[in-house]
Amino acid sequence: MAFSHTGFLGDRMTGKALEIGVCATASAGFLLFGYDQGVMSGIITEPIFLGTFPKMAEDYKLGSIQALVVAIYEIGCLIGSFIIIGYGDKLGRRRAVLIGAAIMLVGTAIQTSSTTLAQLIIGRIVTGAGNGMNTSSIPVWQSEMAPPKIRGFLVLFEGALITGGVMISYWINYGFWFYNKSSFQWRFPVAFQAFFGTILIIGILAFPESPRWLLKHGKEKEAAQIMARLKQCDVDDQELQKDIEDIKKINEITAGRKLTVKEFCSNGPDMHLWRASIAFAAQAFQQIGGINLVTYYATVVFENSLGFDPTFARLLTGVLGTEYFLSALVALFVVDRLGRRRLMMWNAAGMGLAMMVAGIGLSVGNQSGAYAATVMIFLFNTFFAIGWLGVTWLYPAEVTPIRIRAEANGLSTSANWLFNYAVVQLSPIMINTIAWKTYFVFMCFNFAFIPVVYYTFVETNGYKLEAMDTIFQIAHKNKENPVWVEKRVRKGNTDEAHAVENRSSSTASGEGEKEKVEDTEHKEDA
């Protein structure tokens, strides 16, 4: 079947049904992501697995080989995100995901059939590359297809399904812990991720391309048809045509001009550097907070750091995954009520406190302290799932302009993988060397996030994607922090709120567009 921009479902789905279909497809990608994150947690301490890969034992070279094999997946993800930075906008949102999912299936086959450490490492790199492409592209596709009022809910639903994937992997590992006759004990859990990859491919072929991407690439007819299906209106609908004109005006400003490093890093009227930087920081902070000390090494932490027996440690890991998933569902109902900034700041404080108490509990060195630390790990997961899991995948796509959205989202996702790799690589080594002090390191990071978010992260909740451009343009013109501009707009400052509400006012005339382009070019040349 030929690859089309409308998908093979054609005109059969419209409105909410279409939105749900797109969300379900995107969610399959994040189920796959979560599953792949969690599946190694229980496997890396299984005797049969260690019989095949003895260097993966935690006590071999302070766990550095174990850490390398687990963390090398993030390097693959980093490579995939770089591919999207370079080629994502040329490929389109759907085609990029399709290629990424196919690559993941290849990587899964390599991992499942592994008999040597080198083959396992190669399989994890290949799988990671596909996942890096997917996680750089899916949030952009989803956010560009969703209406502003439920955009946060839909994208955070994907984030919740990351934890759903983690939960599924934990319970599958627990079930197969009791099958100890052959390497099928670990090969099946690794192979099962192909199920989610297949669903993702089918969904991508079924549903349409982002109309914003189509408009950017001159395909107005297809874009109008898809937008009409989403809005359940005629292609000649006045509001729909206004939305198309607004998006086209933004595209016309930079039409024919290749995005350069200078423009990407400029702080001209659209403040690209500021917006790309906070998108990068959001993803980096998500990892530096220490979540993957828990996600990737939950069973190891429960067995070796907290001292529980292997069977109970795996049961506890499954319960942790379930609690993680349920906590992530809470975020769905508060993200559009409380906004992105509040969730990040409040829950960073909670994560910092949980890490502090966990460190204190483990420093005592008795069973009561271990139980207290266990409770804190559960609380840490709760705070993270509500405030930092889905929000940081949503935020980069919302805060960046369409001119740099694909590249900025790829860059922000690369930050996720880079710092993810650092945490996953260093965590077992830290636990083996500085023990309970590891938790204090992550405590400090979480507390440090709060002022950074407060002073630099602009609230995006409730705005059309193009309206964010106006907020940053006002901030640039007034030479002030865009955080304060957004606060005034939300409170209803007459002139500024009107400018944001009527997005086209900043590009209402060709003269205005010309001035904006000339101003940007002048600043790039300076």
Give DSSP secondary structure letters for 330-381: HHHTTHHHH-HHHHHHHHHHHHHHHHHHHHHHHHH-SHHHHHHHHHHHHHHH
State the residue range of the domain holding 40.
16-214+262-456
How is residue 472 written in tokens? 């940053």
Query: How confident is the model at residue 509, as a pLDDT?
Result: 38
10 Å CB burial of residue 452 (0-12, 13-18, 19+) is middle
Integer Cα distance of 172 and 178 in angstroms = 11
Query: How confident is the model at residue 2, as a pLDDT?
Result: 54
Query: How confident is the model at residue 46, as a pLDDT?
Result: 92
- On whether residue 423 sits in a domain, the answer given is yes
- On whether residue 64 sits in a domain, the answer given is yes
Integer Cα distance of 461 and 482 in angstroms = 14
Residue 454 and residue 278 in contact, taking contact as beta carbons nearer than 8 Å: no
Integer Cα distance of 172 and 359 in angstroms = 30
- On whether residue 494 sits in a domain, the answer given is no
Integer Cα distance of 481 and 274 in angstroms = 10
- On whether residue 159 sits in a domain, the answer given is yes
Domain count, the chain: 1
CATH code, domain carrying 322: 1.20.1250.20
Q: Which amino acid is at 12?
A: R
- On whether residue 443 sits in a domain, the answer given is yes
Distance of CA 65 to the CA centre of its chain: 27
Integer Cα distance of 436 and 32 in angstroms = 32
Integer Cα distance of 135 and 414 in angstroms = 10
- On whether residue 481 sits in a domain, the answer given is no
- On whether residue 406 sits in a domain, the answer given is yes
Integer Cα distance of 409 and 352 in angstroms = 27
Query: How confident is the model at residue 492, as a pLDDT?
Result: 78
Give DSSP secondary structure letters for 479-498: TS-HHHHHHHHHHT-HHHHH
Query: How confident is the model at residue 407, as a pLDDT?
Result: 84
Query: How confident is the model at residue 353, as a pLDDT?
Result: 98
pLDDT by position in tens, the chain (length 526) = 456 788 887 678 888 888 888 888 988 998 998 999 899 988 998 999 999 999 998 777 777 888 899 999 989 988 998 898 889 889 999 999 999 999 999 999 999 999 999 999 999 999 999 998 998 898 888 878 877 777 667 767 777 888 999 999 999 999 999 998 999 999 999 999 999 999 999 999 999 999 989 998 888 899 999 999 988 888 888 889 998 988 888 777 666 667 888 889 988 999 999 999 999 999 999 999 999 888 888 888 888 777 788 999 999 999 999 999 999 999 888 888 888 999 999 999 999 999 999 999 989 888 888 889 999 999 999 999 999 998 898 899 889 998 888 788 878 878 888 898 999 899 888 988 888 899 999 999 999 999 999 999 999 988 887 788 999 999 999 999 999 999 888 887 657 777 777 653 444 333 333 334 334 333 333 3
- On whether residue 111 sits in a domain, the answer given is yes
Model pLDDT for residues 33-87, shown as the tens digit of each residue: 899 989 998 899 899 999 999 999 877 777 788 889 999 998 998 899 889 888 9
Model pLDDT for residues 354-409, shown as the tens digit of each residue: 999 999 998 988 888 888 999 999 999 999 999 999 889 889 988 999 888 878 88
Residue 222 and residue 6 in contact, taking contact as beta carbons nearer than 8 Å: yes
